Structure 1
Amino acid sequence: MTSSTTDQSAKLVTLEEFVIEAQSRFPHATGEMTQLLMDITLGAKIIAREINRSVLKDINSAETITEPHSFKMARLEQFAKEQMFYALNRSNEVCMMVTDDLAEPERLNGGTGKYFVVLDPLDGTPNIAFNGAVATTFSIYQRRSDPSEPIDPAEALRAGSDQIVGGYVLYGSSIMLVFTAAGLGVTFFTMDPAIGEFCLSVPNVKVPRFKPMFSINTSFYELWPAAEQAFLDYLVSDKNMAGKAYSLRYGGSIVSDVHRILMEGGLFTYPANSLHPRGKLHLMYKCNPLAFIMEQAGGLATDGRQRLLDIKPVKVHHQSPVYMGSPDNMQEYSDFIESKNQAE
C-alpha cells in the first residue's frame, strides 16, 4: 500500500463534508438539503442518548423494573417522535411530517416549505429489552405545489420513486446512518462519539448478488398462502440454488434484517397472510426508504408482483407484502412462484 493510499484511507470525512462534496453529482444537495440531513441526524443523536439512558434508568430504578415493557416502549416512541418533530421544525424548509403514530400528516412551519418528510421515529422497540437493534427510517420528498402556500396533506400520498433521499439510523453496537439519493449510491456513516459526528465508514455499498440466507417471521407459516409455504420449504431443502438448506436470520426489526442483507446478501420477505391479506408492513415509512436503498445498492424490492417504489399509497398507513434483497435471491423467488402459478 502506498503512502498516498494510506493517507487517503485515514482521512476523516463527516456527513456534512460528504454532502457538500456530492453537490455536483446530486442536484438536490442544496444548502437546505444539507441542513435538513443535519437536522434529522441531530434528532437521531438525541434519540440514541435517550435509548442508552433508558437502559441505565431500568438498572438503577426499582420502579422501572416492575413497569410493563410496553409502557417503556410507548415512552421511547413518543420521545423519538417529539425529537424528530423539533428537529424538522428547526428550519423553515419542512412543511409536513408523516409518521407511524399519526392518523394524518402533520403540518410544520404553517405548512410552508420545499420538503416533506415521511419517517418512523423508532422501529423495533421490543428489541430494546434485550439490547437488540432499533432504528429510525426516513424519506425526504420535494413538494410539487407552491412552497409558499400551506401544503395539502393529500400530497403525502406519493410513490416511493419520488423520494429524493431515503435513509435510516440504526441504533446498535454503534450508531450508523445509511442513506441514498438517486445517482449518489448508498453510503454508511458511523457515529464517532468522541466528536459527536457521523463519519464516512463505507462508501458505494453494493449488495452481494446471492447468499443462501433469508429473513422471515416463520411464526405466520400456517397463515401464509400455499405458494409461500412451499417456498419456505424449498429454501430449507436441498432443491434450491445452493443445494442445501439456507440460513435463517430474523431479528424482529426490518431495518436490522435488511441492513444485514445489504452487507452480506440474502432475501428479506414478509408475505401477506390470512390476518393481513394486504400485507402487514407499512409502505410509506418502513418499506419505501429501505426499498430505495436496496435498489441503489444493486438489489431488488417488490410486493411479490410489482416494484415497491412504483406503488402509489391510497392512505398514509398503506400496508404491503415485502420482498427485497440480492438480485439472484429475488430472481429465485420470482421463478419459484411463477412455476407454482403455472402448475396450478
Structure 2
Amino acid sequence: MSEQTFQTLGEFIIDKQDDFKYSTGELSRLLSAIRLASKVVNREVNKAGIAEIIGHAGNQNVQGEDQQKLDVLANNLFIEALSQREVVCGIASEESDDFIEIKATSNAHLNKYVVLIDPLDGSSNIDVNVSVGTIFSIYRRVTEPGTPVQLKDFLQKGVKQVAAGYVVYGSSTMIVYTTGNGVNGFTLDPSIGTYYLSHPNMKFPTTGKIYSINEGNYIKFPQGVKDYIKYCQLEEGDRPYTSRYIGSLVSDFHRNMIKGGIYIYPSTSQSPKGKLRLLYECNPMALLAEQAGGKASDGYRRILEIEPTELHQRVPFFCGSAAMVTKAEEFMAKALKP
C-alpha cells in the first residue's frame, strides 16, 4: 500500500471536518483517541494466544456475563485514551455498571461530548481466533458544559448521535465510521501503524442472500422470526438464502454491509427484551446502517427513535439490507394479527 495512493485516516478527518456539524477540531481529537487505542487493542488481540490474556478474567460485568481478560484490557485502554483528550466529559462502557465522569483535567467538566463504547464485542471468540471488534457512539451532552455530566447526557435517542463506528480486528484491522455524511472504512497497515482509506462511501446492497441469526435458539424465537427464517430457506425466486453467523456483531454486520444481508438478534422466551444493548451496540450500528442505505429496527419500529430509559437497556435487533429488514418486519407484524 502506497502513502501517495491512499489517503490516511488523519488526512481524511481533516479534509472532511467541515462535514461535521460542530467542527472545532474536537472530532479529530476524539477519533484520534479511538484510533490510538484501537492500535494497542489490535496488538494485544494479535498476540493474545502467547501473552496469557485469553480466557476468563474471573469476574462478571453488569449484565452477569463472564468477562474475558481482553474485555478488561480493552475497556481500560479505551477509557484511558479518551480521558486524555480534552473533549470528553463522560464515558459509558458495556463493561461498567455506571457511567464514568472524566476528571483527567481540571477543565474536563467543560467538555461537550460523551462516548458510549463496547470495548470488545464478541470477545468470547478470542480463544478460538475468530474476528472481534469495538463499537463506539458519540453524543453532544444535553446538560450545560461546566456542570457535572449526568445520566441524561447518555440516555439520548440514537438520532442524536453525532458520530458512530466500529473497529473490526480480523484478517485485516479496519475502522469504519460515520459523522452523518456517509460511511467510510479505513484499513490498518501494520507495518507502519497507519490507517488508510480503503472502503470509501460504503453502501448496503438493497437486498442480499445472507441471513445471520443463531438458529440454535429457533424454538425460543417469536413466531414472526420463525416464519421469516422459513421464508429465507424456501426454494423460490432468488431463495433459499445462505445462513452465515459468526457470533460477533461487528463481524456479521461488516460482512453483510459488503455482501448484502440481514442480521437478527430477536427477543426469545428466555430474553423477552432481547440481548443486545441499545446504547452500546444497536444505536451505533443502526446509524451506520442507515447512513449506508440500510435499515435497523426492533422488528416493529426504527431503532434510532427508541427512547432509552437505562444505560444497559436491551432491545431486539434487525439490521441490514433495507428490503430484507422490511420483509422481516412484515412477518413480525403478520404474526401479531389474530
The answer for the alignment partner of 2:187 in structure 1 is 190
Q: Distance in 2 between matches of 1:277 and 1:224?
A: 10
SS at match of 1:150: coil
Alpha-carbon contact 1:235-1:246 (below 8 Å) kept: yes
Query: Given the alignment of the two structures, is residue 69 of structure 1 paired with residue 55 of structure 2, yes or no?
Result: yes
Q: Distance in 2 between matches of 1:82 and 1:167?
A: 19
Query: Given the alignment of the two structures, is residue 83 of structure 1 paired with residue 77 of structure 2, yes or no?
Result: yes
The answer for the alignment partner of 1:104 in structure 2 is 98
Q: Which has the larger radius of gyration?
A: 1
SS at match of 1:281: coil
Q: Distance in 1 between matches of 2:210 and 2:73?
A: 35
The Cα shift of 1:156 comes to 0.9
Quickly say closer, same or farther: Cα 1:53–1:150, change in 2 above 3 A: same
Alpha-carbon contact 1:160-1:311 (below 8 Å) kept: yes
Matches within 5 A, 1:193-342: 193-239=190-236, 242=238, 244-342=239-337
Quickly say closer, same or farther: Cα 1:304–1:71, change in 2 above 3 A: same
The Cα shift of 1:237 comes to 1.4
The Cα shift of 1:218 comes to 0.8
CA displacement, residues 189-222 of structure 1 (integer Å, 9 cap, x when unaligned)? 0011122111100111111011121000111111
* Bigger helix share: 1
1:209 is aligned with what amino acid? T
- Which of the numbers 162, 165, 185 marks the counterpart of 2:163? 165
Q: Distance in 1 between matches of 2:289 and 2:94?
A: 21
SS at match of 1:19: helix
The Cα shift of 1:229 comes to 1.4
Q: Distance in 2 between matches of 1:74 and 1:204?
A: 34
The answer for the alignment partner of 2:111 in structure 1 is 113
- TM-score (normalizing by structure 1): 0.90
1:105 is aligned with what amino acid? F
Alpha-carbon contact 1:206-1:298 (below 8 Å) kept: yes
Q: Distance in 1 between matches of 2:144 and 2:227?
A: 51
Alpha-carbon contact 2:300-2:333 (below 8 Å) kept: no
The Cα shift of 1:10 comes to 5.7
The answer for the alignment partner of 1:4 in structure 2 is none
The Cα shift of 1:23 comes to 1.9
Quickly say closer, same or farther: Cα 1:112–1:103, change in 2 above 3 A: farther
Consecutive unaligned residues in structure 2, runs of 5 or more = 59-66
2:90 is aligned with what amino acid? M
Matches within 5 A, 1:26-65: 26-57=20-51
Q: Distance in 2 between matches of 1:238 and 1:340?
A: 22
Q: Distance in 2 between matches of 1:95 and 1:26?
A: 19
SS at match of 2:136: strand
Q: Distance in 2 between matches of 1:53 and 1:327?
A: 38
The Cα shift of 1:111 comes to 4.1
Q: Distance in 2 between matches of 1:191 and 1:44?
A: 10
2:295 is aligned with what amino acid? L
Query: Given the alignment of the two structures, is residue 13 of structure 1 paired with residue 13 of structure 2, yes or no?
Result: no
RMSD: 1.9
> What count of residue pairs does the alignment treat as equivalent?
325
The answer for the alignment partner of 1:178 in structure 2 is 176
Q: Distance in 1 between matches of 2:174 and 2:157?
A: 26
The Cα shift of 1:150 comes to 1.3
Consecutive unaligned residues in structure 1, runs of 5 or more = 1-6, 59-63
Alpha-carbon contact 1:19-1:29 (below 8 Å) kept: no
- TM-score (normalizing by structure 2): 0.91
SS at match of 1:336: helix
The Cα shift of 1:333 comes to 1.4
Q: Distance in 1 between matches of 2:24 and 2:184?
A: 18
The Cα shift of 1:30 comes to 2.7
SS at match of 2:184: strand
The Cα shift of 1:38 comes to 0.2
Alpha-carbon contact 1:301-1:308 (below 8 Å) kept: yes
Q: Distance in 1 between matches of 2:12 and 2:138?
A: 18
1:215 is aligned with what amino acid? S
The answer for the alignment partner of 1:143 in structure 2 is 141
SS at match of 1:320: coil
Q: Distance in 1 between matches of 2:122 and 2:167?
A: 12
SS at match of 1:190: strand
CA displacement, residues 60-82 of structure 1 (integer Å, 9 cap, x when unaligned)? xxxx8xxx832496221111111
SS at match of 1:140: strand
